[in-house]
C-alpha cells in the first residue's frame, strides 16, 4: 500500500502579518503533497476561506483541511469578535488577547489527539504548541515571521547586552558576534515599543518553548542572506529551512487580490488606474495592518505626498478618515493619487509595472513582497524588529532610501504621538526614489536581480523549493522512526 500523506497541523498567530504567510505556507506544503490542516477562528477563517476554496477545487493539489476554534472572549475579558490583533479596540487589550490565545491550548491538544498529525508548524507567538508537541510525541517547527538577519541581531543584543554600555538612546553601538559589523541604537530596539502592556510573561514563555522546538521554517530566501541563515543555525543549534518568499505561491490575480482579506477596492478599478500610469511612476504607500498614525502625522504625510508631485497609491486604515485632517485632499490629487481605505491587494499592486517604489513600515512580509516584485523601498520603521529590517534593506540589500526616522512609536500610543516626519522630509524622500538618476537606476537594477533570485528560489530545483522537500523528507523520516519505535514497544509489551 502507498503510505499516507505526511500530515502537518499549521497554527497561525491571529495577526495579519503572521496569519497571511502561514496560510501561504500551508498552501505551499499542499502543493508538495503534504496533507495540511490550518487551525483558526471563525472570523479569521473568513479572511482566507475563498482562497483555500479555490485551492481545494484544483485537482492538482492535496486539499487543505480547516479546524475552527471559538475564541473565549468573555473568559479573557475581550469584546466579542476581537479575533485578530487588528480588531482590538485598543492596544491596551493586548494582554487580554494573549490570555484568550493561551486558552486555545486544551482544545488544540484535543484536535492533535484525535487527528494524529505527524508534525506541528506553529507561530512563535503560540508557545503552548511546544507542550502539545511534546505530549503527543511529534516535532514542533516554529515559524517566526522575520528574516534571519533580524533574528540574529535580536539574539546578539540579548546575548551580549552591548546597549548597557551606552548612555544615549541615539548613540550607535556594535552588535557583537554577527557575520559583519551591524550598528544599532537603543531607540531601535523592539523592547522599547511594547511599553507596559503586561506581556513580559507571555514573551518569556517563547524562550521556554524554544527548548521543545525541533527547527525553524523561515519565510526568506537563502541567497538573499546566506551568512545569516548559517549564523542563525549556529546560534540556535536548530535546523533552519528557508522556504520563501511564500507570497509567490499566489500566481492568479484573484488570489493576489484576496490574499489576507477581501480588498477594500475593486480589483479591476485598481488595475485600470495603474494601467493608466507609466512604468515605475507610482509610489505605493502602506504601513501595514497595525499602524495607526496621529492626525498630525497623517496631515504631514498627505501634504508630503502632494508636494512630491509624483503619482501614488496611499493605503489608510479604515477607521482613519482623511476628511478630519486634509480638507479637499482627494480632489486636489485625484489625477495622480488613489486612496484605499481598509485592506489593499498589496501583492497585486506591487506586481504591476507602474509601481516603482514602496513607502513601508519595514514589516518583513512587506519587505519580502517588495523584493519579490523588484520594487525599491522608502523605509519608515515604526516598532518591533522593523528598524533591524530597515538596516538589512539599506545596508545589505541596498535597495532603499531611508526616510530618516530615528525612533518609532510606542505600541498603543500611536494616535497620541507627535509628528515623526514632516512634509518636506517626506517629499524629499519620495523625490529621491521616484525621480530618474544614476543612483536610483543602480538601485532598480539591484532590485531586479533580487527579484530574479527570489523567483528562481521557489521554482522547481530552486533553493526554497529544495528546502521544502528536505523538511518534508526529514518529517517523513521521523514518522518512520516513531512507527518503528512504537512497533518495538508493542512487541515488548506482548
> Are both 314 and 417 inside the same structural domain?
yes
User: Strand pairing partners for 35?
Assistant: 7
- In sequence order, what DSSP letters do the residues of 410-429 get, joined into one string? -TT-GGG---SS-HHHHHHH
Cα(378)–Cα(75) distance, integer angstroms: 43
In a domain, 390, yes or no: yes
| Backbone dihedral angles phi then psi of residue 277, each to the nearest 5 degrees | -110, 155
pLDDT at 263 over 80: no
Same domain, 318 and 414: yes
Residues 228 and 313 in one domain: no
- CA–CA gap between residue 363 and residue 149 (Å, rounded): 13
Domain-embedded: residue 63: yes
**Model confidence at 197: pLDDT above 60:** no
- 202 and 286 belong to one structural domain: no
Non-local (6+) Cβ contacts of 341 within 8 A are: 264, 316, 317, 318, 321
Same domain assignment for residues 60 and 143: yes
pLDDT for 459 equals 96
What is the predicted pLDDT for the residue at 91? 73
Stronger pLDDT, 454 or 169, i.e. the higher one: 454
Q: Name the H helices within 417-462.
A: 423-434, 438-458
Tell me, yes or no, whether 166 lies in a domain. Answer: no
Q: Is residue 428 part of a domain?
A: yes
Phi–psi pair at 54, nearest 5 degrees: -65, -40
Please check whether residues 287 and 434 belong to one and the same domain: yes
Per-residue pLDDT band at 233 (split at 50, 70, 90): very high
- Please tell me which residue, 259 or 278, carries the higher pLDDT value: 278
pLDDT above 90: residue 284: yes
Any catalytic annotation for residue 86? Answer: no
pLDDT of residue 301: 93
HEC sequence for 257-285: HHCCCCCCCCHHHHHHHHHCCCCCCEEEE
CB–CB of 248/454 below 8 Å? Answer: yes
Please name the residue ranges forming H helices in 32-127.
Answer: 42-57, 73-76, 94-102, 105-115
**Tens digit of each residue's pLDDT (9 = 90 or more) over 123-181:** 998 999 999 999 999 999 999 889 999 999 999 998 999 999 998 988 999 999 999 99
Which parts of 333-422 fold into alpha helices (H)?
346-350, 364-373, 386-391
- Rounded to the nearest 5 degrees, what angle is found at the Cα of 294, between the Cα atoms of 263 and 269? 20
Q: Is residue 104's pLDDT more than 90? A: yes
**199: pLDDT strictly greater than 60:** no
Whether the CA torsion 169, 172, 174, 179 is positive or negative: it is positive
Q: Check residue 203 and give its pLDDT.
A: 61
Q: What is the mean pLDDT of residues 410-421?
A: 68
Domain limits for position 232: 7-161+195-243+463-493
pLDDT at residue 471, as a whole number: 97
Q: What is the pLDDT of residues 28-50, one digit of tens each?
A: 999 999 999 999 999 999 999 99
Q: Residue 446 has what pLDDT?
A: 97
Average pLDDT over residues 382-399: 94
Closest CA to 301 of 268, 341, 269, 329: 329
Question: Are residues 488 and 414 part of one domain?
Answer: no
Contacting residues for 434 by C-beta, under 8 A, at least 6 apart: 280, 281, 283, 308, 310, 356, 357, 440
Q: What is the pLDDT of residue 403?
A: 95
CB 284 within 8 A of CB 312: yes
Return the pLDDT at 259.
85
pLDDT in tens, 58-67: 878 899 999 9
Residue with more model confidence, 77 or 192: 77
Instruction: Clarify whether residues 216 and 293 are in a common domain.
Output: no
Give the helix/strand (H/E) hosting 163.
none
Residue 174 located in a structural domain: no
The answer to whether position 251 is within a domain reads no
* 354 and 470 in a common domain: no
pLDDT digits (tens, 9 = 90+) for 319-368: 555 655 566 888 889 889 999 988 899 999 999 999 999 999 999 999 99
For the chain, what is the domain count?
Answer: 2
Whole-number mean pLDDT of the chain? 89
Distance CA 112, CA 120 (A): 9
Considering the domain boundaries, does residue 175 fall inside one? no
209 and 294, same structural domain? no
Of the candidates 157, 147, 218, which has an alpha carbon nearest to the alpha carbon of residue 182? Answer: 157
The answer to whether residues 209 and 141 belong to one domain is yes
Mean pLDDT of 425-434: 96
Q: What is the mean pLDDT of residues 75-102?
A: 87
Is pLDDT of 307 > 90? yes
Q: What is the pLDDT of residue 491?
A: 67
Q: Is 18 a catalytic residue?
A: yes
pLDDT for 71 equals: 93
Residue among 24, 65, 123, 255 flagged as catalytic:
123
Q: Are residues 120 and 22 located together in one domain of the fold? A: yes
Active-site entry in 7, 18, 104, 310: 18
- The CATH number of residue 263's host domain is 3.40.50.2000
At 416 the pLDDT is: 59
Model pTM above 0.75 = yes
How far apart CA 425 and CA 52 sit, in angstroms, is 43
Looking at residue 198, its pLDDT comes to 54
Provide mean pLDDT across the span 286-310. 89
**Radius of gyration (Cα) for the chain, nearest Å?**
23
Q: In what helix (H) or strand (E) does residue 27 lie, and over which residues does it extend?
A: helix 16-31
What is the per-residue pLDDT for 1? 45
Instruction: Specify if 106 maps to a domain.
Output: yes
Amino acid at each position: 500500500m502507498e503510505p499516507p500523506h505526511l500530515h502537518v497541523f499549521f497554527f497561525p498567530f491571529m495577526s495579519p502579518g503572521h496569519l497571511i504567510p502561514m496560510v501561504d505556507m500551508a498552501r505551499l506544503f499542499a502543493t508538495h503533497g503534504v496533507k495540511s490542516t490550518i487551525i483558526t477562528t471563525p472570523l479569521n477563517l473568513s479572511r482566507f476561506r475563498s482562497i483555500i476554496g479555490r485551492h481545494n477545487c484544483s485537482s492538482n493539489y492535496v486539499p487543505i483541511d480547516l479546524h475552527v476554534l471559538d475564541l473565549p472572549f468573555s473568559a479573557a475579558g475581550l469584546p466579542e469578535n476581537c479575533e485578530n490583533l487588528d480588531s482590538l479596540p485598543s492596544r491596551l487589550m493586548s494582554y487580554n488577547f494573549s490570555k484568550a490565545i493561551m486558552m486555545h491550548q486544551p482544545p488544540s491538544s484535543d484536535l492533535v489527539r484525535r487527528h494524529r498529525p505527524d508534525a506541528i508548524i506553529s507561530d512563535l507567538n503560540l508557545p503552548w504548541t511546544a507542550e502539545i508537541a511534546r505530549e503527543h510525541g511529534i516535532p514542533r517547527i516554529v515559524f517566526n515571521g522575520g528574516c534571519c538577519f533580524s533574528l540574529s541581531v535580536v539574539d546578539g543584543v540579548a546575548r551580549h547586552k552591548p546597549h548597557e554600555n551606552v548612555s544615549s538612546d541615539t548613540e550607535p553601538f556594535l552588535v557583537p558576534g554577527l557575520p559583519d559589523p551591524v550598528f544599532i541604537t537603543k531607540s531601535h530596539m523592539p523592547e522599547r515599543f511594547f511599553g507596559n502592556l503586561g506581556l513580559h510573561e507571555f514573551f518569556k514563555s517563547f524562550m521556554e518553548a524554544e527548548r521543545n522546538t525541533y527547527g525553524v521554517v523561515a519565510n526568506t530566501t537563502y541567497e538573499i542572506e546566506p551568512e545569516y541563515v548559517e549564523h542563525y543555525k549556529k546560534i540556535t543549534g536548530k535546523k533552519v529551512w528557508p522556504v520563501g518568499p511564500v507570497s509567490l505561491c499566489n500566481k492568479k490575480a484573484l488570489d493576489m487580490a484576496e490574499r489576507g482579506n477581501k480588498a477594500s477596492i475593486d480589483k479591476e478599478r485598481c488595475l485600470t488606474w495603474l494601467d493608466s500610469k507609466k512604468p515605475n511612476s507610482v509610489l505605493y504607500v502602506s504601513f501595514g495592518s497595525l499602524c495607526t498614525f496621529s492626525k498630525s502625522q497623517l496631515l504631514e504625510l498627505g501634504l508630503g505626498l502632494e508636494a512630491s508631485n509624483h503619482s501614488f497609491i496611499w493605503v489608510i486604515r479604515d477607521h482613519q478618515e482623511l476628511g478630519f485632517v486634509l480638507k479637499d485632499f482627494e480632489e486636489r490629487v485625484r489625477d495622480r493619487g488613489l486612496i484605499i481605505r481598509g485592506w489593499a491587494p498589496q501583492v497585486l499592486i506591487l506586481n504591476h509595472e507602474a509601481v516603482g517604489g514602496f513607502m513601508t513600515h519595514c514589516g518583513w512580509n512587506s519587505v519580502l513582497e517588495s523584493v519579490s516584485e523588484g520594487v525599491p523601498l522608502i523605509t519608515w520603521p515604526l516598532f518591533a524588529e522593523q528598524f533591524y529590517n530597515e538596516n538589512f534593506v539599506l545596508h545589505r540589500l541596498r535597495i532603499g532610501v531611508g526616510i530618516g526616522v530615528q525612533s518609532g512609536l510606542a505600541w498603543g500610543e500611536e494616535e497620541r504621538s507627535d509628528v515623526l516626519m514632516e512634509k518636506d522630509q517626506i517629499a524629499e524622500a519620495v523625490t529621491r526614489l521616484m525621480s530618474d538618476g544614476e543612483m536610483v537606476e543602480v538601485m532598480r537594477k539591484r532590485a531586479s536581480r533580487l527579484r530574479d533570485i527570489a523567483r528562481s528560489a521557489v521554482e522547481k530545483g530552486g533553493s526554497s523549493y529544495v528546502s521544502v522537500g528536505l523538511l518534508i523528507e526529514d518529517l517523513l523520516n521521523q514518522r518512520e522512526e516513531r512507527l518503528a519505535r512504537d512497533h518495538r514497544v508493542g512487541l515488548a509489551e506482548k
